[in-house]
Amino acid sequence: MDLAQALSGFVVGSLVGLTGVGGGSLMTPVLVLLFGIHPATAVGTDLLQAAITKAGGTYVHAKKGRVDWRITCLLAAGSLPAAVITILSLHTFTNGVGGSKIITSTLGVALLLTAAALILRTRLRRLSKAHGPEIARHPAFTIVTGALLGVVVSLSSVGAGALGITALFFLYPRLPAGRIVASDLAHAVPLTLLAGLGHWLFGSVDWRLLVSLLAGSLPGIYIGSHFAGRVPDSILRFVLAAMLVLVGGKLIALS
């Protein structure tokens, strides 16, 4: 086990527990920029880590009846086929260099979108409540949203959290926030697991790295969750958004 990687997992896990922002938005850039991990390996490994850590949270939410399984299944109906097609296409039609550039570019763009989602989430929900009669409840809208998430998450490991929640806030403005978060989290488990296994089949998972990250992130999430709410949400979102813009811009420049 690599202690530096475990420490990074702990720091990121603590931030995830504190803010609720998906670990991929924070962990994957750290692996690529700080540890020099190949982008495909960073994404594949982080996806499996996300599947494991999110499964525990989903179990808790499901026991408390917070998951709207209809929404979760509609998202999965779009995201799972999209994830399979994306990963097969990535490894079939690109070589190592091309695939790396696609992943790095997608990761950078996904981080910028995540930053925008953090800043605009409340405003978008108010706009949707005021002007959007819930025609978006039509299943097709949620399935298409799932498909878009499937592509982005498979290429970057980013989006299952912040982007998914923001999209659901817009699609279902009258649904309680707790049910939206729980439903998005439940959807993220099969999506990240399938995408992670897809990357593993093509040799893009580092199992030693995965163990190191889990050794740090699991206790980090537990500890961070106990301090959630003690720092103003607006400050946390602004700081995280600024970080994601800087890192996302750097990744796009590198690609």
- What is 77-90 written as a DSSP string? HHHHHHHHHHHHHH
Tell me the per-residue pLDDT of 31-51, one tens digit each, with 9 for 90 and over. 888 888 988 899 999 999 888
Question: Counting every residue, how long is the chain?
Answer: 255
| pLDDT confidence bin for 96, thresholds 50/70/90 | low
Confidence check: pLDDT of 181 > 90: no
- Beta-carbon contacts of 171 under 8 Å, excluding residues fewer than 6 positions away, are 128, 134, 136, 137, 141, 142, 145
Distance, in Å, from the CA atom of 141 to the CA atom of 74, rounded to the nearest integer, reads 9
Contacts of 118-125 with CB under 8 Å at 24 or more apart are 118/21, 118/162, 118/237, 118/240, 118/241, 118/244, 119/237, 119/238, 119/241, 120/166, 121/162, 121/165, 121/166, 121/169, 124/166, 124/169, 124/170, 125/169, 125/170, 125/173
| pLDDT confidence bin for 22, thresholds 50/70/90 | low
Confidence check: pLDDT of 89 > 60: yes
Distance, in Å, from the CA atom of 199 to the CA atom of 44, rounded to the nearest integer, reads 5
Q: Which amino acid is at 141?
A: F
Domain that holds residue 106: 3-254
Confidence check: pLDDT of 202 > 70: yes
Q: What is the pLDDT of residue 20?
A: 62
Ramachandran angles phi, psi of 27, nearest 5° = -75, -45
Tell me the per-residue pLDDT of 48-76, one tens digit each, with 9 for 90 and over. 988 888 888 788 888 888 889 999 999 99
Number of domains in the chain: 1
Tokens of 202: 């093509």
Average pLDDT over residues 135-160: 85
Q: What is the pLDDT of residue 197?
A: 95
Which H/E stretch holds residue 19?
A: helix 3-19
This prediction has a pTM of 0.84
Tokens of 8: 């990074």
| pLDDT confidence bin for 164, thresholds 50/70/90 | confident
Confidence check: pLDDT of 203 > 60: yes
Are 50 and 21 in contact by the 8 Å Cβ rule? The answer is: no
Residue 4, Cβ density class (10 Å: 0-12 exposed, 13-18 middle, ≥19 buried)? exposed
Confidence check: pLDDT of 137 > 80: no
Q: What is the pLDDT of residue 230?
A: 67
